Structure 1
Amino acid sequence: MTYSDAVEAAGGRRGGKRERLAAAAARVLHEQGMEKTTIADIARAADVPLGNVYYYFKTKDQLVEAAIDAHAQHLAGLIAALDALPTPQDRLKALVSGWVEQRELTARYGCPTGSLASELDKRDDGLDQTLATVMRVLLDWAERQFLALGRAEDARELAVALIASYQGISLLTNTLRDPEMMATEGRRLERWIDSLA
């Protein structure tokens, strides 16, 4: 399941106006960043008249919260799909493969969640902690996979290393606009996961 597939499943174009606005907020904030994004940009991307937006969301911050919820829904769908795979090794490698599939998008805009987290960290309204909760879900899931691989002693450290590697390569891929960097790191991470099994 790709990022755009999951966002669509979490609301996307088929949902009601509120869901379309939340999915559009996640997409537009990823592509433009918080400072450049306006409520009108989100309304246009959701194909919702600007005046209707205020019925659902009174402020841009409420749309940011909705975007965080869209990220949470995307992650829940992704985890459900990964959990259907037979082994923790398969699940972890599928996660990495999904990241690599998104390398062109990452090269243009960075990691959807990581980029938003970086922007929210500069504010003092608590939205950064709301997004941190979403990121902890992935970290906890990865830890459970390493535990299932028999790595009880260092499962949390391995989970942190995996997520940190992805966030780091996302930053480099975006900064240098080089999607092949992510493909190379993906192959390395798959070998690393195999070595732990």
Structure 2
Amino acid sequence: MTDSVKPRVARGADKRRRLTAAAAQVLHEQGVERTTLADIARVADVPVGNVYYYFKTKDELVRAALTEHSAHLDELTRRLDEMTDPRDRLKALIEAWVGQRDIAARYGCPTGTLAVELDKRADGTLDAEAGAVIRRLLDWAGQQFRALGLPDPDDLAVTLISAYQGMSLLANALRDPEIMTREGARLLGWLDALEAPHQSS
């Protein structure tokens, strides 16, 4: 690759990255149906004509947004995995949710709201891709409960993630971020109360 080509490739990668991040943000804030390619181009600070070079359809941008959500989840769980205690990891996850309470109250859960909206469409498989991102979080949470030696770890993961989706939905519907604060505290207490069964000697 010549030196003159390298900067063009780097600029192209930067534009694609900015468009992907903008898609995740705008689709979360406006929803799929209300979002145009021009909206995403404006937030990404990319000429709208350039969008079609990287993404031919809005569905491709939705898929890119889901990839962005997945990358954010990977980054979060990677940081949490640096903690030695699985219970502390789960608590830090809840605290991260509560830390996003103002955004949740305004727009809901990024992946959850997208999954619900995509499920209403009868023209593709993007709803399954949104569900796959949520499944990854469920799997990670299940691993933490399993590491704690708790019975039914996958069911406990469903309880935890369901609680998050519920409090995000209510905070959004009622425009009340303090729902996240209160329910987050309740979830922390629930985690503290969970005990592994005693092993008989």
Per-residue CA distance 1:105-147 (angstroms, 9 max, x = gap): 0100011011100100011300011111111100000000000
1:147 matched to 2:146: yes
Provide the aligned length of Structure 1 versus Structure 2.
Answer: 182
For the Cα contact (< 8 Å) 1:149–1:196, is it kept in 2? Answer: no
The residue identity in structure 1 corresponding to 2:35 is T
Per-residue CA distance 1:45-70 (angstroms, 9 max, x = gap): 01111011111001111000100100
1:129 matched to 2:128: yes
SS of 1:16's equivalent? helix
Per-residue CA distance 1:168-189 (angstroms, 9 max, x = gap): 0100000000000110000010
Q: 1:130 and 1:88 mapped to 2: Cα distance?
A: 27
Runs of 4+ in 1 over 4 A off after TM superposition: none
1:81 matched to 2:74: no
Per-residue CA distance 1:49-100 (angstroms, 9 max, x = gap): 1011111001111000100100111111111011011100110000000000
For the Cα contact (< 8 Å) 1:28–1:41, is it kept in 2? Answer: yes
Residue number among 85, 100, 103 corresponding to 2:101 in the alignment: 103
Structure 1 vs Structure 2: percent identity of aligned residues? 62
For the Cα contact (< 8 Å) 1:30–1:112, is it kept in 2? Answer: yes
1:161 matched to 2:165: no
1:4 equivalent in structure 2: none
| Runs (5+) with no aligned partner, structure 1 | 1-14
- Quote how far apart the aligned CAs of 1:39 are: 0.2
- The structure with the larger Rg is 2
1:65 equivalent in structure 2: 63
Q: 2:182 and 2:98 mapped to 1: Cα distance?
A: 9
- Quote how far apart the aligned CAs of 1:35 are: 1.1
| Runs (5+) with no aligned partner, structure 2 | 1-12, 196-201
Please report the TM-score for the alignment, with normalisation by the length of structure 2: 0.89
1:187 matched to 2:185: yes
Q: 1:71 and 1:185 mapped to 2: Cα distance?
A: 23
Please report the TM-score for the alignment, with normalisation by the length of structure 1: 0.91
1:172 equivalent in structure 2: 170
2:9 equivalent in structure 1: none
